[in-house]
Copies of this chain bind each other. A is one copy, B any other.
Amino acid sequence: MAIFDALPPSVSIYEVSPRDGLQNESAQVATHAKVRLIEALIEAGLKRIEVTSFVSAKWVPQMADADQVCRMVEKPEGVCFSALVPNARGLDRALAGGIDEAAVFLSASETHNRKNVNKSVAATLLAFDDVIAPARRAGMQVRGYVSTVWGCPYEGAVDPEAALRIAHELLSRGCYQVSLGDTIGVGTPLQTRRILEVFLREIPAEKIALHLHDTRGTALANVLVGLEMGITTYDSSVGGLGGCPYAPGAAGNLATEDLAYTLAGMGVDTGLDLEKIWRAGQVAEAIVGRELPGKVHKAGIRSLAH
């Protein structure tokens, strides 16, 4: 058999629960609760954590305390904090907050991008000149999110070549990595292979991350395709917190516990302590005050013993 003959020895998990996970919570989460979550994530071994967003509090009230979060949380050696940075004002705040990495974001679909940031894709890319180069000069690294690569809630199918062109723009402007998003969780494995084939013809695997949503249960199956094709960074969120604007109780972000459990079972090192990552999911659940959709999260800590 050809499968799994070249599994990567290790994978980097990029944790998004404090930002992508929380940003759509309607009830304001207390700053100290966010800090507690971030501390639990660090304790579990996560090295790349998206801690907040410097978008305007007018648009995302949940992230209005971004500056306080940065002040309150202690960052140990070897941990990288990232934050969404939409503009020059956000960059100033991120720098003042001691953030290591700025994340910029846009959509592979024009309609989704306009609904999200009220600009065309081309205008969004141009505006990144106020963030990416200045951030680099100030010593930060910059990561780019390309959302709706697997499909758009407004336009339906998305051309992988269009997403590829955007990825090239991001990389040439100074991003070290592009995170390709299945924003609405429609992706199936054959599609994932086809998308990655398009990208890997022109972009090295280490510059690509996958940000997969589990809305239809396919995220881990898509990760498997990524692994087989050499992708070694995966975005996820403890408990599967966040990322789904659809039905109540439906899944959005891939759960970090499910990802870490699967990788551990395949002998792929993530540097995570499974039990502690499960506990961080309990913290996430406690601070949003409702059940989270992650599978390992729901199955309970005893389920990790196997």
Contact = CB atoms under 8 A, between A and B. Distances in A.
Contacts of A255: 217
B295 A214 contact: yes
A217 B247 contact: no
Interface residues of A, number: 54
A7 B191 CA distance: 13
A299 B193 CA distance: 24
A228 interface: yes
Interface in A212-236: 214-218, 220-221, 223-225, 228-229
Interface in A243-262: 244, 246-247, 249-251, 255, 258, 261-262
Contact of A217 (B156, B193, B258, B266): B258
A191 B214 CA distance: 22
B190 A265 contact: yes
A185 B302 CA distance: 13
A265 B190 CA distance: 7
A258 B218 contact: yes
Interface centre among A187, A190, A300 (most CB of B within 10 A): A190
Contacts of A4: 189-190, 193
Interface in A4-24: 4, 7
A190 B188 CA distance: 19
A306 interface: yes
A58 to B, nearest CB: 30
Contact of A224 (B7, B156, B224, B294): B224
21 contacts: A3-B229, A4-B190, A7-B190, A184-B306, A186-B265, A187-B265, A189-B262, A189-B266, A190-B267, A216-B262, A216-B295, A220-B221, A221-B262, A246-B302, A247-B298, A249-B298, A250-B295, A250-B298, A251-B295, A251-B298, A251-B299
